[in-house]
Amino acid sequence: MAKITINGKELTVADGTNLVDAAEEHGIDIPHYCYHPGLSIAGQCRMCYVEQEGNPKLQVACNMKCSDGLKVTTDSARVKDAVKWSLEFHLVNHPIDCPICDQAGECGLQDYYMKHGQYQSEMHEDKVHKEKVVDLGDNVVLDKERCILCSRCVRFTAEVSKTNEFGIFNRGDRSVIGTVDDKPLTGNYTVNTVDICPVGALTSKDFRFEQRVWFLDSAESVCNGCSKGCNVFIHHKKGRHIYRLKPRFNETVNSYWMCDKGRYTYKDSNYDRRLTHAKLLGVDLPHDEAISMWAADLNVFTSTERMDEIGVYLTPNQTNEELSALLELFVNKFKITKFFAEDVEGLVKADSAVDNFLLRSDPYPNSKGFLETLKKFGVKLGSLSDMAQSIEKQRLMHLIFVVPEGQRQITQLTGVAEAIRPDHFVVVLTPNRFAQELFASSLSIPTLSHFEKTGTVVNHGGLAQKISSNFKMFKEAFSIESVMKQLADAQSSGRKKERTGS
Amino acid sequence: MRTSSVKQTIHGTNMRAMAIEQKPIQAEKRILLEHEHVPNIKQIDVYASKGGYEALKKVFQGKMTPDQVIDEVKASGLRGRGGAGFPTGNKWSFVPKSKDKPHYLLSNADESEPGTFKDRVILEKIPHMMIEGMIIGSYAIGAARSYIYIRGEYTYGAVVLERAIEEAYQAGFLGKNILGSGFDHDMVVHRGAGAYICGEETGLISSLEGKKGWPKLKPPFPAVEGYLRCPTVVNNVETLAAVPWIIRNGGAAYTKFGTEKSRGTKMWSVSGDVERPGVYELELGAPFTALLNDCCGGMKNGRKLKAMIPGGSSAPIMTAEESMNCKLDYESIAAKGSMLGSGGMIILDETRDLVQVLKNLAEFYHDESCGQCTPCREGTGWVEKILHSFTEKDARKDDLELLKTVTNNMLGRTICVLADSIAMPVQSYIQKFPEEFESYIARSNATGPRASIYSHLPGPQ
């Protein structure tokens, strides 16, 4: 630990911490653009000036490591003036097109202008004009004029994604960020450059012009795309629509980054792919009616001891809590024995990093937790072909499918769906509109999508991560835990009715 | 085309050399340029016949240790001739003694400061002097490889160097086991692509590494982490060329020249409104008038001196009055508010329009800013635009205030000193020659501040 003094306040920080980070830890804001804790030090934006005791020149904080006795001032008049002027230099050739800029609201220039600027510009000359709306492939659009040349994106592609696509061309105030011949960005990590861009130079094609950021709310979760379990922020508007995912820092999992594939998993949670009401044979019906109908049919099987005719399909998309609630009821109460899933154990065994960075081959966020929870309840899994056969041979009559959002399970279950005859009773618990369409004759009950869930998922390394969303997109979509509770209630009241004969 | 121009250069300089030989200039003290006039001194045998490579033999056959070499250079008081004037011996002693990483010596032959052309004489006429200095310097810091980073425009110099290095290899002064000392050394000429910033110590290193010529953030300093993140010393051509003389005659002999703090001699490249512009070598501390009148033959056409820039275009300007009683050494020039810099002296006579001179400089620095640090990238362009508006559109008093504020905020705020290189001239021109600017303001009929390009927007609350 090192004892340092910032603005006369003595602080204790870890030895060797970057001064910008150390100050931030203690609630002191040192403005910066080029510095990013996940990248190398560039020291070129010249915003993070501090006065160091014993040094006549202003120093940049990003190139200072904390060691015992370091004494700096960040709030002297000299520093404030230097920061103000640095900001003015950033804005000298910036187009200041905030009203039509997608970054407005989360722009470093705007934030620091309000905090450290607030001056009348003395720039009277013509600005340097550069290329706008440069298409850099499927995900990213570049505006060279808005760019403040902090070189974060250059360092990201050089150091993190190792694709070395970005470079700074030309020199002086003619410098521009770009790729050679404006070639599109490749690889699976391109949108990270948008995340780290402090201004509106790099914008995401997916998010561009979709929503003003000040209307967005934020929730914390873990990505749904693979077994890596990258921590994310969900940016949604009043819980009605998710607009984007942003990586959330977790040193042990994803650092500051996430892949493009995972980034777009939020799309499955939005209205056009969601089942919003309970449906029977494709027709809406009230939620409680659906539950009691399901409970009544289950009662037929449980009261006649035909539990072995009930088959359940599960996926490792469910959180540990959801699985426990499901199995508690199905295994411990209804004594159901037949559970089916794709070969999760095989997926876990073969799981590896696809591109030597974040993305992994196992497409489920909770494979390890899934296997563990199943083991706890002593459940043995059958394969999907077993399931299709049993259905065909009429050995399974009551079928429960717990299907997550996403396309993978829809493709996977096509064979099973074809085996279903009109005398099978099919219940689909899903947030997925297409699952309902696949099992057209079913009773479909809407559940929550991944990004609305609260619970625990276990990633490929065995790390259990809490996800705690705070919004619910559709009134009649409930969590699996509550659906199970409703079912249990409906089932016991149904039995009571039978016994009393009323 | 290229050959003919080269021939012309050789012919032209030889003619001048002969003239000098016939009538030596009393004010000069030639140490480095002692044999500059000798025909074919760029060839190794001619150089050797004039005492060349004696110093190298003294080091290796006299079994001097690297520390002894460094001590000798320290004792001489030799200071870097590239501009900063840092003691060379100290610079060499900062290189760590451990050998876990290779060490490098780089010769900075990217002489691109406007007004400076002294290194060119050494590179093109007496290349062996620098090569000898580099071998000795490399031995002192334990470098097995050294590079000469020569600016792209010095095509002839690069050819001469290549040939000289080849000769040195053949003579056994380069390569394996030099003079039986067990010391191996290789030397490589690297040609720049024509960027001012690559003459900056760390910009040069970046460029040599194959990257964009961006100066590097310090710390770490090159002596610890330089070329390829290995300990590196970057020395100016003139500095390295002085090393053989110092070793041959001893550090103490060198201290006989110059002043208490500025030891030795300095090469001055004088350009502008003088009768005989050229490269002259004087003792440090010599009076400016000696250089102007005795060496350069006085002002051209008998005009009056208006201003003098002592150390390359980035040095603050000096008035005639300040110049005439100025002594030419690091301290005296600094006392007048300027700097000795590279010794690229520009003489301006009474007919010169200093505002136009400043605009010309601003254009240069705007063009050459590497674009890494924001204050320099945007500031150099801004300064040029203000000066452009000032001279071409309308001149306003506010422009001068704005120039001062803008340059104040560029000074000392960036990784390297390119921003200072335009900020210092701007401030000194305005401070020392206000009447030049006033005359523009008087001629223009504009009043009040220039309209802001944001005037249509509401101001901050």
Is residue A369 pLDDT above 50, yes or no? yes
Query: Token pair of B39, please?
Result: 């025909």
Percent helix, strand, coil in chain A (nearest 5)?
Answer: 35, 20, 45
Q: How confident is the model at residue A316 (pLDDT cuts 50, 70, 90)?
A: very high
Is residue B72 pLDDT above 60, yes or no? yes
Q: How confident is the model at residue A49 (pLDDT cuts 50, 70, 90)?
A: very high
Q: Does residue B42 share a domain with residue B22?
A: no
The tens digit of pLDDT for each residue in A87-133 reads 999 999 999 999 999 999 999 999 999 999 988 888 889 999 999 99
Q: Does residue A59 share a domain with residue A159?
A: no
Q: Does residue A340 share a domain with residue A459?
A: yes
Per-residue pLDDT averaged across B61-90, rounded?
Answer: 95
Per-residue pLDDT averaged across B351-373, rounded?
Answer: 96
Is the peptide bond preceding residue B219 cis, with omega within 30 degrees of 0?
A: yes
Pairing of strands A166-169, A381-382: unpaired
Is residue B7 pLDDT above 50, yes or no? no
Is residue B395 pLDDT above 50, yes or no? yes
- Contact between A92 and B378 using a beta-carbon 8 Å cutoff: yes
Per-residue pLDDT averaged across B49-75, rounded?
Answer: 96
What are the C-alpha distances in Å from B166 to residues B43, B160, B174, B414? Answer: 11, 10, 9, 40
Cβ atoms within 10 Å, residue B294: 17
CA distance B364 to chain A (A): 11
CA A213 – CA A452 distance, rounded (Å):
20
Structural domain including B277 reads: 1-27+257-350
What are the C-alpha distances in Å from A340 to residues A321, A384, A386, B169, B285? Answer: 19, 6, 8, 79, 94
Q: How confident is the model at residue A326 (pLDDT cuts 50, 70, 90)?
A: very high
Per-residue pLDDT averaged across B424-431, rounded?
Answer: 97
Among the partner-chain residues B378, B379, B459, the one whose CB lies closest to the CB of A120 is: B459
Q: Which of B374, B406, B411, B417 to mutate to test the interface with A (most CBs of A within 10 A)?
A: B374
Domain end point (choices A269, A303, A333): A269
ipTM of the modeled complex:
0.91
Q: Which residues contact B338 (CB under 8 A, 6 or more apart)?
A: B309, B310, B311, B315, B316, B317, B318, B428
Interface of A with B (CB under 8 A): 41-47, 49, 57-58, 60, 63, 81-82, 85-86, 88-90, 92-93, 96, 117-128, 148-149, 168, 170-175
Residue A164: which CATH number?
A: 3.30.70.20
pLDDT of residue A501: 55
Candidate from A452-456, A489-493, B109-113, B285-289 with smallest mean pLDDT: A489-493
CA A117 – CA A473 distance, rounded (Å):
40
Q: Does residue B410 share a domain with residue B379?
A: yes
CA distance B217 to chain A (A): 7
Q: Does residue B385 share a domain with residue B418?
A: yes
Residue A438: which CATH number?
A: 3.40.50.740
Among the partner-chain residues A44, A86, A173, the one whose CB lies closest to the CB of B381 is: A173
Closest CA to B446 of B382, B392, B383, B384: B392
Q: Which pTM value belongs to this model?
A: 0.92
- From chain A, pick out residues whose CB is under 8 angstroms from the CB of B420: none
pLDDT of residue A493: 82
Closest chain B residue to A175, measured at CA: B371
Per-residue pLDDT averaged across B24-52, rounded?
Answer: 92
Residue B455 lies in a domain: no
CA B88 – CA B111 distance, rounded (Å):
18
Q: Does residue B95 share a domain with residue B197?
A: yes
CA B344 – CA B313 distance, rounded (Å):
8
Cβ atoms within 10 Å, residue A105: 15
Comparing B266 with A119, which gets the higher pLDDT? B266
Cβ atoms within 10 Å, residue A258: 27
Residue B386: which CATH number?
A: 1.20.1440.230
One-letter identity of residue B400:
L
pLDDT of residue A371: 96
pLDDT of residue B456: 66
Is residue A498 pLDDT above 80, yes or no? no
Q: How confident is the model at residue A500 (pLDDT cuts 50, 70, 90)?
A: low
Residue B454 lies in a domain: no
What is the percentage of chain B residues whose pLDDT exceeds 70?
Answer: 92
Q: How confident is the model at residue B121 (pLDDT cuts 50, 70, 90)?
A: very high
The tens digit of pLDDT for each residue in A175-195 reads 999 999 889 999 999 999 999
Using an 8 Å Cβ cutoff, are B73 and B67 in contact?
no
* Residue A59 zone, left/alpha/beta (φ > 0; ψ -120 to 50; rest): beta
- Contact between A175 and B371 using a beta-carbon 8 Å cutoff: yes
Q: Which residues of A78-101 are buried (b: 16+ CB within 10 A; e: fewer)?
A: ebeebbbbbbbbbbbbbbbebeeb
Q: Does residue A426 share a domain with residue A297?
A: yes
Q: Does residue B305 share a domain with residue B218?
A: no
Residue with tokens 């001590």: B71
Instruction: Write a three-state SS string for A161-183.
Output: CCCCCEEEECCHHHCEEEEHHHC
Q: Does residue A370 share a domain with residue A303?
A: yes
Q: Does residue A443 share a domain with residue A369?
A: yes
What are the C-alpha distances in Å from A187 to residues A146, A164, A280, A364, B15? Answer: 25, 11, 43, 21, 64
Closest chain A residue to B379, measured at CA: A89
Q: Does residue A471 share a domain with residue A374?
A: yes
CA B421 – CA B384 distance, rounded (Å):
13
- From chain B, pick out residues whose CB is under 8 angstroms from the CB of A109: none
What is the percentage of chain B residues whose pLDDT exceeds 90?
Answer: 87
CA B43 – CA B50 distance, rounded (Å):
11
CA B275 – CA A309 distance, rounded (Å):
111
- Contact between B374 and A63 using a beta-carbon 8 Å cutoff: no
pLDDT of residue B1: 36
Among the partner-chain residues B367, B374, B453, the one whose CB lies closest to the CB of A44 is: B374
Using an 8 Å Cβ cutoff, are A428 and A445 in contact?
yes
Element spanning B206, H or E = helix B201-208
Q: Which residues of B241-270 are buried (b: 16+ CB within 10 A; e: fewer)?
A: bbbbbbbbbebeebbebbbeebbbbbbbbb
B431-439 long-range CB contacts below 8 Å, 24 or more apart? B432/B307, B432/B317, B432/B318, B432/B319, B433/B307, B433/B317, B433/B319, B433/B354, B436/B353, B436/B354, B436/B355, B437/B355, B437/B390, B437/B395, B437/B400
Residue A310 lies in a domain: yes
Using an 8 Å Cβ cutoff, are A276 and A269 in contact?
no
- Contact between A86 and B378 using a beta-carbon 8 Å cutoff: no
Q: Dmax over Cα atoms in chain B, in whole Å? A: 78
What is the rounded average pLDDT for all residues in chain A?
A: 94
Structural domain including A66 reads: 2-92
Cβ atoms within 10 Å, residue B350: 12
Among the partner-chain residues B378, B386, B451, the one whose CB lies closest to the CB of A93 is: B378
Using an 8 Å Cβ cutoff, are B364 and B356 in contact?
no
Q: Does residue A286 share a domain with residue A312?
A: yes
Domain end point (choices B252, B277, B302): B252
The domain total for chain A is 3
3-state SS class at A249: coil
3-state SS class at B71: helix
CA A150 to the chain's CA centroid: 26
Q: Does residue B264 share a domain with residue B362?
A: no
Q: Which residues contact B71 (CB under 8 A, 6 or more apart)?
A: B89, B251
Query: Token pair of B221, please?
Result: 């300093």
3-state SS class at B22: helix
What is the rounded average pLDDT for all residues in chain B?
A: 92
Q: Does residue A394 share a domain with residue A375?
A: yes
Query: Token pair of A217, please?
Result: 């709310």
Closest chain B residue to A82, measured at CA: B409
Cβ atoms within 10 Å, residue A249: 12
- The Cα angle at residue A179 between residues A178 and A183, in degrees rounded to 5: 130
Full DSSP string of B157-186: HHHHHHHHHHHHHHTTSSBSSGGGSS--BE
Residue B317: which CATH number?
A: 3.10.20.600
E strands of B173-219, at which residues? 186-191
Q: Does residue B200 share a domain with residue B138?
A: yes
Residue with tokens 């090469």: B267
Q: Does residue A479 share a domain with residue A347?
A: yes
Residue B146 lies in a domain: yes
Closest CA to B362 of B432, B312, B451, B422: B422
pLDDT of residue A129: 93
Closest chain A residue to B393, measured at CA: A125
Is residue A467 pLDDT above 70, yes or no? yes
Query: Token pair of B64, please?
Result: 């001097």
Is residue B21 pLDDT above 80, yes or no? no
